[in-house]
Structure 1
Amino acid sequence: MDVTTALLSFSVAAALLTITPGLDTALVLRTAAVEGPLRAMLAGTGIVAGVLAWGLMAALGLGAVLAVSRLAFRAVQIVGAAYLIWMGLGMLRGSFRSAEVTGAATETSVRAPNWFVRGLMTNLLNPKVGVFYVSFLPQFLPAAVPAVPFSMLLTGIHAVLGLIFFTAITTATVPFQRALSGPRMQRVLDRITGVVLILFALLLLFERRTV
Protein backbone atom coordinates (compact mmCIF):
# COMPACT_ATOMS: atom_id res chain seq x y z
CA MET A 1 0.00 0.00 0.00
CA ASP A 2 1.46 3.36 -1.01
CA VAL A 3 1.02 6.61 0.92
CA THR A 4 -1.77 8.00 -1.27
CA THR A 5 -3.79 4.80 -1.10
CA ALA A 6 -3.28 4.60 2.66
CA LEU A 7 -4.48 8.19 3.18
CA LEU A 8 -7.54 7.78 0.95
CA SER A 9 -8.48 4.40 2.41
CA PHE A 10 -8.09 5.62 5.97
CA SER A 11 -10.08 8.79 5.26
CA VAL A 12 -13.02 6.76 3.95
CA ALA A 13 -12.90 4.35 6.90
CA ALA A 14 -12.56 7.18 9.42
CA ALA A 15 -15.44 9.11 7.84
CA LEU A 16 -17.73 6.09 8.12
CA LEU A 17 -16.66 5.59 11.71
CA THR A 18 -17.23 9.27 12.50
CA ILE A 19 -20.82 9.41 11.23
CA THR A 20 -21.83 6.15 12.93
CA PRO A 21 -24.20 7.14 15.78
CA GLY A 22 -22.72 6.60 19.20
CA LEU A 23 -21.99 8.12 22.58
CA ASP A 24 -20.02 11.07 21.17
CA THR A 25 -22.85 12.03 18.83
CA ALA A 26 -25.42 11.79 21.63
CA LEU A 27 -23.33 14.00 23.92
CA VAL A 28 -22.77 16.71 21.31
CA LEU A 29 -26.39 16.71 20.15
CA ARG A 30 -27.69 17.02 23.70
CA THR A 31 -25.28 19.85 24.48
CA ALA A 32 -26.18 21.67 21.27
CA ALA A 33 -29.90 21.39 21.96
CA VAL A 34 -29.78 22.35 25.63
CA GLU A 35 -26.66 24.49 26.06
CA GLY A 36 -26.16 25.95 22.61
CA PRO A 37 -23.65 25.52 19.77
CA LEU A 38 -20.63 26.98 21.58
CA ARG A 39 -20.70 24.47 24.41
CA ALA A 40 -21.56 21.67 22.00
CA MET A 41 -18.41 22.44 20.04
CA LEU A 42 -16.41 22.54 23.27
CA ALA A 43 -17.66 19.03 23.99
CA GLY A 44 -16.81 18.00 20.43
CA THR A 45 -13.35 19.53 20.72
CA GLY A 46 -12.79 17.60 23.94
CA ILE A 47 -13.77 14.37 22.17
CA VAL A 48 -11.37 15.16 19.33
CA ALA A 49 -8.60 15.89 21.85
CA GLY A 50 -9.23 12.43 23.28
CA VAL A 51 -8.92 10.93 19.81
CA LEU A 52 -5.57 12.66 19.33
CA ALA A 53 -4.38 11.41 22.71
CA TRP A 54 -5.38 7.82 21.92
CA GLY A 55 -3.72 8.09 18.52
CA LEU A 56 -0.48 9.27 20.10
CA MET A 57 -0.56 6.51 22.70
CA ALA A 58 -1.20 3.92 20.01
CA ALA A 59 1.62 5.32 17.87
CA LEU A 60 4.03 5.16 20.81
CA GLY A 61 2.93 1.67 21.73
CA LEU A 62 1.31 2.61 25.05
CA GLY A 63 -2.15 1.76 23.79
CA ALA A 64 -0.99 -1.80 23.18
CA VAL A 65 -1.08 -2.30 26.94
CA LEU A 66 -4.87 -2.29 26.76
CA ALA A 67 -4.80 -4.87 23.99
CA VAL A 68 -2.61 -7.34 25.88
CA SER A 69 -3.48 -6.67 29.52
CA ARG A 70 -6.89 -7.75 30.74
CA LEU A 71 -6.33 -5.96 34.04
CA ALA A 72 -5.51 -2.62 32.38
CA PHE A 73 -8.45 -2.95 29.99
CA ARG A 74 -10.83 -3.85 32.81
CA ALA A 75 -9.61 -0.98 35.00
CA VAL A 76 -10.24 1.63 32.29
CA GLN A 77 -13.53 -0.10 31.48
CA ILE A 78 -14.77 0.20 35.07
CA VAL A 79 -13.62 3.81 35.48
CA GLY A 80 -15.16 4.78 32.14
CA ALA A 81 -18.48 3.12 32.96
CA ALA A 82 -18.54 4.79 36.37
CA TYR A 83 -17.90 8.18 34.77
CA LEU A 84 -20.72 7.72 32.26
CA ILE A 85 -23.10 6.60 35.00
CA TRP A 86 -22.13 9.63 37.07
CA MET A 87 -22.84 11.95 34.14
CA GLY A 88 -26.10 10.17 33.30
CA LEU A 89 -27.37 10.26 36.88
CA GLY A 90 -26.39 13.93 37.09
CA MET A 91 -28.51 14.74 34.04
CA LEU A 92 -31.44 12.71 35.35
CA ARG A 93 -31.21 14.30 38.78
CA GLY A 94 -30.99 17.79 37.28
CA SER A 95 -34.01 17.14 35.04
CA PHE A 96 -36.20 16.38 38.04
CA ARG A 97 -35.17 19.44 40.02
CA SER A 98 -37.63 22.22 40.52
CA ALA A 99 -38.01 24.49 37.50
CA GLU A 100 -37.44 27.45 39.85
CA VAL A 101 -33.63 27.14 39.70
CA THR A 102 -32.17 30.58 39.19
CA GLY A 103 -30.43 31.52 36.00
CA ALA A 104 -27.25 32.29 37.92
CA ALA A 105 -27.17 28.81 39.46
CA THR A 106 -27.82 27.20 36.12
CA GLU A 107 -25.06 29.17 34.46
CA THR A 108 -22.62 28.20 37.21
CA SER A 109 -23.48 24.50 36.88
CA VAL A 110 -22.82 24.38 33.14
CA ARG A 111 -19.79 26.58 32.67
CA ALA A 112 -18.41 26.19 29.20
CA PRO A 113 -14.99 24.74 30.16
CA ASN A 114 -16.69 21.73 31.76
CA TRP A 115 -17.99 20.59 28.39
CA PHE A 116 -14.49 20.29 26.98
CA VAL A 117 -13.48 18.20 29.99
CA ARG A 118 -16.58 16.04 29.69
CA GLY A 119 -15.94 15.37 26.03
CA LEU A 120 -12.28 14.62 26.69
CA MET A 121 -12.93 12.27 29.60
CA THR A 122 -15.78 10.49 27.82
CA ASN A 123 -13.35 9.57 25.04
CA LEU A 124 -10.26 8.85 27.15
CA LEU A 125 -12.14 6.57 29.55
CA ASN A 126 -13.41 4.33 26.75
CA PRO A 127 -10.86 1.51 26.45
CA LYS A 128 -12.45 0.32 23.20
CA VAL A 129 -11.10 3.47 21.51
CA GLY A 130 -7.57 2.58 22.56
CA VAL A 131 -7.86 -1.03 21.43
CA PHE A 132 -9.45 0.16 18.19
CA TYR A 133 -6.52 2.43 17.41
CA VAL A 134 -3.98 -0.27 18.23
CA SER A 135 -5.67 -2.70 15.83
CA PHE A 136 -6.85 -0.18 13.19
CA LEU A 137 -3.93 2.17 12.52
CA PRO A 138 -1.35 -0.50 11.55
CA GLN A 139 -3.56 -1.57 8.64
CA PHE A 140 -2.92 1.80 6.96
CA LEU A 141 0.82 2.17 7.56
CA PRO A 142 2.92 1.88 4.38
CA ALA A 143 6.14 -0.03 4.94
CA ALA A 144 8.41 2.79 3.78
CA VAL A 145 7.20 5.57 6.11
CA PRO A 146 8.05 6.35 9.77
CA ALA A 147 5.33 4.74 11.87
CA VAL A 148 4.83 7.39 14.58
CA PRO A 149 4.58 10.53 12.36
CA PHE A 150 2.34 8.77 9.84
CA SER A 151 0.13 7.37 12.60
CA MET A 152 -0.31 10.88 13.97
CA LEU A 153 -1.12 12.14 10.46
CA LEU A 154 -3.88 9.53 10.22
CA THR A 155 -5.11 10.44 13.69
CA GLY A 156 -5.16 14.09 12.67
CA ILE A 157 -7.34 13.22 9.67
CA HIS A 158 -9.74 11.41 11.98
CA ALA A 159 -9.78 14.41 14.33
CA VAL A 160 -10.51 16.87 11.51
CA LEU A 161 -13.34 14.68 10.23
CA GLY A 162 -14.72 14.57 13.75
CA LEU A 163 -14.67 18.36 14.06
CA ILE A 164 -16.41 18.72 10.70
CA PHE A 165 -19.09 16.24 11.71
CA PHE A 166 -19.67 17.84 15.12
CA THR A 167 -19.87 21.26 13.47
CA ALA A 168 -22.47 19.93 11.02
CA ILE A 169 -24.75 18.36 13.63
CA THR A 170 -24.37 21.37 15.92
CA THR A 171 -25.27 23.76 13.10
CA ALA A 172 -28.27 21.59 12.24
CA THR A 173 -29.77 22.26 15.67
CA VAL A 174 -29.57 26.06 15.38
CA PRO A 175 -32.88 26.52 13.47
CA PHE A 176 -34.62 24.54 16.20
CA GLN A 177 -32.89 26.29 19.09
CA ARG A 178 -35.95 28.25 20.18
CA ALA A 179 -38.15 25.16 20.27
CA LEU A 180 -35.51 23.14 22.07
CA SER A 181 -34.55 25.79 24.61
CA GLY A 182 -37.75 25.66 26.67
CA PRO A 183 -37.39 24.30 30.22
CA ARG A 184 -39.76 21.41 29.58
CA MET A 185 -37.93 20.29 26.44
CA GLN A 186 -34.57 20.62 28.17
CA ARG A 187 -35.75 18.33 30.95
CA VAL A 188 -36.93 15.78 28.39
CA LEU A 189 -33.62 15.91 26.52
CA ASP A 190 -31.65 15.57 29.74
CA ARG A 191 -33.67 12.53 30.75
CA ILE A 192 -33.22 10.89 27.36
CA THR A 193 -29.49 11.62 27.28
CA GLY A 194 -29.05 10.53 30.90
CA VAL A 195 -30.64 7.17 30.13
CA VAL A 196 -28.53 6.82 26.98
CA LEU A 197 -25.32 7.50 28.93
CA ILE A 198 -26.23 4.92 31.57
CA LEU A 199 -27.07 2.34 28.90
CA PHE A 200 -23.75 2.98 27.18
CA ALA A 201 -22.03 2.59 30.54
CA LEU A 202 -23.68 -0.77 31.16
CA LEU A 203 -22.79 -1.95 27.64
CA LEU A 204 -19.20 -0.86 28.21
CA LEU A 205 -19.05 -2.48 31.65
CA PHE A 206 -20.33 -5.87 30.56
CA GLU A 207 -18.79 -6.02 27.08
CA ARG A 208 -16.02 -8.56 26.76
CA ARG A 209 -12.80 -7.62 25.04
CA THR A 210 -12.69 -9.04 21.55
CA VAL A 211 -9.13 -8.05 20.59
Structure 2
Amino acid sequence: MMPFEIFISFFGISVLLALSPGPDNIFVLLQSALHGLRVGISIVLGLCSGLIFHTLLVTLGVATLLKTSPTAFFILKVVGALYLLYLAYLTAKSKPISISTETNSAKPKMNLWQYYRRGVFMNITNPKVTLFFLAFLPQFIYSSEVSTTQQLLLLSAVFMLAALFTMGSIALFSGYFGKIIQDKPKAQYALNLLTIIVFVGLAINLLLSQQ
Protein backbone atom coordinates (compact mmCIF):
# COMPACT_ATOMS: atom_id res chain seq x y z
CA MET A 1 0.00 0.00 0.00
CA MET A 2 1.40 3.39 -0.99
CA PRO A 3 1.85 5.71 2.02
CA PHE A 4 -0.66 8.56 1.93
CA GLU A 5 1.99 11.28 2.05
CA ILE A 6 3.79 9.71 -0.94
CA PHE A 7 0.50 9.50 -2.85
CA ILE A 8 -0.36 13.18 -2.17
CA SER A 9 3.07 14.49 -3.09
CA PHE A 10 3.37 12.30 -6.20
CA PHE A 11 -0.16 13.11 -7.38
CA GLY A 12 0.38 16.84 -6.86
CA ILE A 13 3.67 16.85 -8.77
CA SER A 14 2.07 14.76 -11.54
CA VAL A 15 -0.77 17.27 -11.93
CA LEU A 16 1.72 20.14 -12.17
CA LEU A 17 3.73 18.24 -14.78
CA ALA A 18 0.58 17.37 -16.73
CA LEU A 19 -0.41 21.06 -16.70
CA SER A 20 2.87 22.16 -18.28
CA PRO A 21 2.53 23.15 -21.96
CA GLY A 22 3.26 20.20 -24.21
CA PRO A 23 2.08 18.39 -27.33
CA ASP A 24 -0.62 16.40 -25.54
CA ASN A 25 -2.24 19.42 -23.91
CA ILE A 26 -2.08 21.46 -27.11
CA PHE A 27 -3.58 18.58 -29.08
CA VAL A 28 -6.46 18.17 -26.60
CA LEU A 29 -7.04 21.93 -26.41
CA LEU A 30 -7.32 22.47 -30.17
CA GLN A 31 -9.24 19.30 -31.02
CA SER A 32 -11.75 19.88 -28.23
CA ALA A 33 -12.30 23.46 -29.40
CA LEU A 34 -12.78 22.34 -33.00
CA HIS A 35 -14.82 19.17 -32.53
CA GLY A 36 -16.38 19.36 -29.07
CA LEU A 37 -16.09 17.81 -25.63
CA ARG A 38 -16.81 14.18 -26.63
CA VAL A 39 -13.96 14.19 -29.15
CA GLY A 40 -11.66 15.84 -26.60
CA ILE A 41 -12.45 13.24 -23.94
CA SER A 42 -11.90 10.42 -26.46
CA ILE A 43 -8.46 11.81 -27.27
CA VAL A 44 -7.67 12.23 -23.56
CA LEU A 45 -8.58 8.59 -22.91
CA GLY A 46 -6.38 7.57 -25.83
CA LEU A 47 -3.43 9.60 -24.58
CA CYS A 48 -3.81 8.18 -21.07
CA SER A 49 -4.10 4.64 -22.45
CA GLY A 50 -0.85 5.23 -24.32
CA LEU A 51 0.85 5.75 -20.96
CA ILE A 52 0.28 2.04 -20.27
CA PHE A 53 2.67 1.30 -23.16
CA HIS A 54 5.39 3.49 -21.63
CA THR A 55 4.77 1.95 -18.20
CA LEU A 56 5.34 -1.54 -19.59
CA LEU A 57 8.50 -0.41 -21.36
CA VAL A 58 9.91 1.00 -18.15
CA THR A 59 8.95 -1.96 -15.97
CA LEU A 60 10.29 -4.45 -18.53
CA GLY A 61 13.53 -2.51 -18.87
CA VAL A 62 13.06 -1.76 -22.57
CA ALA A 63 13.36 1.95 -21.85
CA THR A 64 17.04 1.39 -21.16
CA LEU A 65 17.40 0.22 -24.76
CA LEU A 66 15.85 3.46 -26.03
CA LYS A 67 18.15 5.43 -23.79
CA THR A 68 21.32 3.63 -24.90
CA SER A 69 20.49 2.82 -28.54
CA PRO A 70 20.56 5.83 -30.88
CA THR A 71 19.09 3.71 -33.69
CA ALA A 72 16.03 2.61 -31.71
CA PHE A 73 15.42 6.15 -30.47
CA PHE A 74 15.83 7.58 -33.98
CA ILE A 75 13.39 5.11 -35.56
CA LEU A 76 10.70 5.76 -32.97
CA LYS A 77 10.97 9.54 -33.16
CA VAL A 78 10.85 9.46 -36.99
CA VAL A 79 7.65 7.40 -36.82
CA GLY A 80 6.19 9.90 -34.36
CA ALA A 81 7.20 12.89 -36.49
CA LEU A 82 5.70 11.36 -39.64
CA TYR A 83 2.44 10.74 -37.78
CA LEU A 84 2.32 14.36 -36.63
CA LEU A 85 2.87 15.53 -40.20
CA TYR A 86 0.08 13.20 -41.30
CA LEU A 87 -2.22 14.82 -38.73
CA ALA A 88 -1.22 18.24 -40.10
CA TYR A 89 -2.16 17.03 -43.60
CA LEU A 90 -5.56 15.78 -42.40
CA THR A 91 -6.18 19.10 -40.66
CA ALA A 92 -5.31 21.00 -43.85
CA LYS A 93 -7.90 18.95 -45.75
CA SER A 94 -10.68 19.43 -43.20
CA LYS A 95 -13.52 21.89 -43.81
CA PRO A 96 -15.29 24.15 -41.29
CA ILE A 97 -17.89 22.39 -39.16
CA SER A 98 -21.45 23.65 -39.32
CA ILE A 99 -24.18 22.50 -36.96
CA SER A 100 -26.70 22.39 -39.77
CA THR A 101 -24.45 20.61 -42.25
CA GLU A 102 -23.22 18.16 -39.63
CA THR A 103 -26.80 17.32 -38.76
CA ASN A 104 -28.10 16.93 -42.27
CA SER A 105 -25.06 15.52 -44.06
CA ALA A 106 -25.04 11.82 -44.82
CA LYS A 107 -21.26 11.76 -45.16
CA PRO A 108 -19.75 9.84 -42.23
CA LYS A 109 -17.19 11.61 -40.05
CA MET A 110 -14.51 10.19 -37.77
CA ASN A 111 -16.03 8.34 -34.86
CA LEU A 112 -14.92 8.56 -31.24
CA TRP A 113 -13.00 5.28 -31.48
CA GLN A 114 -10.86 6.73 -34.27
CA TYR A 115 -10.08 9.81 -32.18
CA TYR A 116 -9.22 7.51 -29.27
CA ARG A 117 -6.81 5.53 -31.43
CA ARG A 118 -5.26 8.79 -32.66
CA GLY A 119 -4.53 9.75 -29.05
CA VAL A 120 -3.03 6.33 -28.29
CA PHE A 121 -0.74 6.37 -31.32
CA MET A 122 0.37 9.94 -30.74
CA ASN A 123 1.41 9.04 -27.20
CA ILE A 124 3.18 5.75 -27.84
CA THR A 125 5.28 7.19 -30.69
CA ASN A 126 6.81 9.78 -28.40
CA PRO A 127 9.96 8.15 -26.95
CA LYS A 128 10.52 11.11 -24.64
CA VAL A 129 7.55 9.95 -22.53
CA THR A 130 9.27 6.61 -21.89
CA LEU A 131 12.52 8.34 -20.96
CA PHE A 132 10.58 10.71 -18.70
CA PHE A 133 8.97 7.76 -16.91
CA LEU A 134 12.38 6.10 -16.59
CA ALA A 135 13.82 9.19 -14.91
CA PHE A 136 10.76 10.28 -12.89
CA LEU A 137 9.05 7.19 -11.45
CA PRO A 138 12.02 5.54 -9.68
CA GLN A 139 12.45 8.68 -7.56
CA PHE A 140 9.23 7.76 -5.71
CA ILE A 141 10.03 4.13 -4.90
CA TYR A 142 8.81 3.98 -1.32
CA SER A 143 9.47 0.49 0.04
CA SER A 144 12.22 -2.13 0.00
CA GLU A 145 9.69 -4.81 0.99
CA VAL A 146 7.51 -4.45 -2.14
CA SER A 147 8.79 -5.40 -5.59
CA THR A 148 10.02 -2.51 -7.69
CA THR A 149 7.80 -3.62 -10.57
CA GLN A 150 4.64 -3.42 -8.45
CA GLN A 151 5.60 0.02 -7.17
CA LEU A 152 6.33 1.32 -10.67
CA LEU A 153 2.97 0.02 -11.89
CA LEU A 154 1.15 1.70 -9.00
CA LEU A 155 3.01 4.99 -9.49
CA SER A 156 2.19 4.87 -13.20
CA ALA A 157 -1.49 4.34 -12.40
CA VAL A 158 -1.48 7.41 -10.14
CA PHE A 159 0.26 9.44 -12.85
CA MET A 160 -2.37 8.34 -15.40
CA LEU A 161 -5.11 9.41 -12.96
CA ALA A 162 -3.47 12.84 -12.63
CA ALA A 163 -3.10 13.15 -16.42
CA LEU A 164 -6.74 12.12 -16.93
CA PHE A 165 -7.92 14.74 -14.43
CA THR A 166 -5.74 17.49 -15.93
CA MET A 167 -6.30 16.88 -19.64
CA GLY A 168 -9.98 16.12 -19.00
CA SER A 169 -10.32 19.57 -17.46
CA ILE A 170 -8.64 21.10 -20.52
CA ALA A 171 -11.03 19.20 -22.81
CA LEU A 172 -14.01 20.38 -20.75
CA PHE A 173 -12.99 24.03 -21.02
CA SER A 174 -12.12 23.78 -24.72
CA GLY A 175 -15.27 21.80 -25.54
CA TYR A 176 -17.48 24.60 -24.25
CA PHE A 177 -15.28 27.16 -26.00
CA GLY A 178 -15.79 25.21 -29.22
CA LYS A 179 -19.53 25.85 -29.10
CA ILE A 180 -18.79 29.55 -29.51
CA ILE A 181 -16.98 29.06 -32.82
CA GLN A 182 -19.46 26.62 -34.40
CA ASP A 183 -20.87 28.05 -37.63
CA LYS A 184 -18.02 30.58 -37.70
CA PRO A 185 -15.85 29.41 -40.64
CA LYS A 186 -13.19 32.12 -40.24
CA ALA A 187 -12.59 31.22 -36.60
CA GLN A 188 -12.37 27.53 -37.51
CA TYR A 189 -9.95 28.22 -40.35
CA ALA A 190 -7.78 30.17 -37.91
CA LEU A 191 -7.80 27.30 -35.42
CA ASN A 192 -7.07 24.79 -38.19
CA LEU A 193 -4.09 26.90 -39.30
CA LEU A 194 -2.87 27.07 -35.72
CA THR A 195 -3.27 23.29 -35.42
CA ILE A 196 -1.24 22.72 -38.59
CA ILE A 197 1.54 24.99 -37.32
CA VAL A 198 1.54 23.18 -33.97
CA PHE A 199 1.71 19.72 -35.56
CA VAL A 200 4.54 20.70 -37.91
CA GLY A 201 6.39 22.41 -35.07
CA LEU A 202 6.01 19.37 -32.83
CA ALA A 203 7.25 17.10 -35.62
CA ILE A 204 10.35 19.24 -36.14
CA ASN A 205 10.95 19.45 -32.40
CA LEU A 206 10.67 15.65 -32.08
CA LEU A 207 13.11 15.09 -34.97
CA LEU A 208 15.62 17.48 -33.41
CA SER A 209 15.26 16.03 -29.92
CA GLN A 210 18.23 14.24 -28.35
CA GLN A 211 18.30 11.24 -26.04
TM-score band, normalised by shorter chain = 0.7 to 0.9
Is residue 76–residue 127 contact of structure 1 (8 Å, CA) maintained in 2?
yes
Matches within 5 A, 1:18-167: 18-95=18-95, 103-105=105-107, 108-144=108-144, 145-167=146-168
Mapped partners of 2:156, 2:26: distance in 1 = 22
TM value normalised by structure 1: 0.87
Q: Which residue of 2 aligns with 1:192?
A: 194
**1:139: how far off?**
1.2
**1:49: how far off?**
0.4
Is residue 44–residue 167 contact of structure 2 (8 Å, CA) maintained in 1?
yes
Matches within 5 A, 1:192-211: 192-209=194-211
Match of 1:63, SS state, is: helix
Is residue 95–residue 188 contact of structure 1 (8 Å, CA) maintained in 2?
no
**1:55: how far off?**
1.2
**1:3: how far off?**
4.3
Q: Which amino acid aligns with 1:66?
A: L
Is residue 66–residue 73 contact of structure 1 (8 Å, CA) maintained in 2?
yes
**1:197: how far off?**
0.8
Is residue 29–residue 171 contact of structure 2 (8 Å, CA) maintained in 1?
yes
Q: Which amino acid aligns with 1:185?
A: A
1:176 aligns with 2:187: no
Is residue 67–residue 134 contact of structure 1 (8 Å, CA) maintained in 2?
no
Q: Which amino acid aligns with 1:86?
A: Y
Question: Percent same amino acid among aligned pairs?
Answer: 26
Is residue 48–residue 163 contact of structure 1 (8 Å, CA) maintained in 2?
yes
1:163-192 deviations in Å (ceiling 9; x for gaps): 111221222234433322223322221221
1:56-95 deviations in Å (ceiling 9; x for gaps): 2211212221111111111101100111011012212325
Deviates more, 1:26-35 or 1:175-184: 175-184
Q: Which amino acid aligns with 1:33?
A: A
Deviates more, 1:187-196 or 1:68-77: 187-196
Q: Which amino acid aligns with 1:208?
A: Q
Q: Which residue of 2 aligns with 1:10?
A: 10
**1:45: how far off?**
0.3
Is residue 90–residue 194 contact of structure 1 (8 Å, CA) maintained in 2?
no
Is residue 33–residue 176 contact of structure 2 (8 Å, CA) maintained in 1?
no
Q: Per the alignment, do residues 156 and 94 of structure 1 end up closer, same or farther by CA in structure 2, a change over 3 Å counting?
A: same
Is residue 6–residue 141 contact of structure 1 (8 Å, CA) maintained in 2?
no
Q: Which amino acid aligns with 1:13?
A: I
TM value normalised by structure 2: 0.87
Unaligned residue ranges in structure 2 (runs of 5+): none
